[in-house]
Structure 1
Amino acid sequence: MHAERGESSIDLVRAARQGDLGSLGILLKIHYGGMYAVAYGILGNSADAEDVCQDAAITAMSRLGDLRDPTAVSAWLKAIVRNNCRMRLRTRPPLPVGLPDGSAGTSFIDDPALIVERHATRDWIWDGLMRLTPTVREAAILRYFTQITSYQEIAQVCGVPVGTVRSRLSEARRRLAGALPGTVAERHDDITALTAERREEAIAVLSSVPSATPEASLSGRWSPEVEITWPTGDRLIGFSSLFAVFASDYADGVRYRLTNVVAGPGLTIWENQFVNPPEDPDHCPPAITWLLKEAEGRIQSVRLFYAPRPAPACDPEHPR
């Protein structure tokens, strides 16, 4: 209807920011050609250009509140595309957040989970994610809402080949970009309460040793036969094995700092940093990601992924 009435991009931006999210879908269609031209001009490959533009479209859906000047919408969208292209050319797949060099005249927090929490579109985006198949949803959530963004890292966390991750993310982008504009008028679940609940659960588990949290208090949510896959590939049964590791780390002076919780039906992701003791700064890797899968309301499996350790600094007097 907006297009037939001849409304400008400025009118559409203003309408979308006032809650008319259907205007955003029209806005993206209007500017998609220009976005694609920028991506193709940088990457020279139509498939990569489509991927980058679809990532940018999803970003724009969750970031509209960051666009302070409606007249800058074209530059804003193209800036997202250019940023993603640059990251792809650096061999790291693009994380669809952030704009380069403050080119849109605003400041951002490059944490997609926090961004979505700030805006009314949060539940809309999450509802779209929940409509994906579980395996596709899992890859998309890791890609867009955690620090696990490269295809290789997602493949390790999910336990699948890199090619499978690539195809799942392609399907996620295609389905989200096509489906979200058509679901803006529907009623969406509020994910905030679930995220807060899962955050409390993470805190309880990660602080289990110093607070002496009894394992029985977790039995309602954790299956006694939960399968835990460690980053080494080793598998253990039962969450008591986690407490043994916590106790060992805690005795060595290691602490945990929870940095992110992503929650949805059947899936929860925790990200936490290790705080190593000063006398042993390399005791644990920098961080760990937990992928918790549920069935019938109980956690049935956990996969763990260590963030890679930073490469040692090169000694210019003794190059490798």
Structure 2
Amino acid sequence: MEAVYIDKNSSLVDACRKGSRKAQFDLYKLYARAMYNVSVRILNDEAEAEDVLQEAFLDAFTRIGDFRQETTFGLWLKQIVINRSINYLRKRKVELVSVDEVDLPAEEAADGEYEQLQADAVRKAMMLLPDGYRVVLSLYLLEGYDHEEIAHILQISEVTSRSQYMRGKKKLVEILEKSGIAR
């Protein structure tokens, strides 16, 4: 027996399944800003993020019948947005450097040093990172994916995900130190 997750927006989802344009618009209003932010963090390009947003909603509303309510609509939509954003990056031919033989230091148990920093300053600094670093950091730190999931999403090895994360984190700290935010 499949688990069905009922969320507060299930009536809107049901109305969308029946073709309600108003329900589609209401879901769009509820999720557009958050989904745009997810995409812009990955792409670092506002115009492309807007394109991804429109395509993701179109895709979601076209495939609403496939949504099985095993999770919330928002999480299902977020996965569509992330996948579309990654596809845009691939179109740009972003290459993540594979370092299969690199010894990586153990990840720090907590990323507490980032919690102290101003969120806006960190977001701005992240936009200065190369695509590969920014995408892995965004997926790991902001979207909550682990390295196994990131490897699957980006079609890279876990080692590459970890190395991109560690290098990106180091570069982010350097950028923040130059701006006087981190010590």
Q: Per the shorter chain, which TM-score range? A: 0.3 to 0.5
> Relative to total residues, which structure has the larger helix share, 1 or 2?
2
- Name which structure has the greater RCO, CA cutoff 8 Å, separation 6+: 2
TM superposition score normalised by structure 1: 0.25
Larger Rg: 1
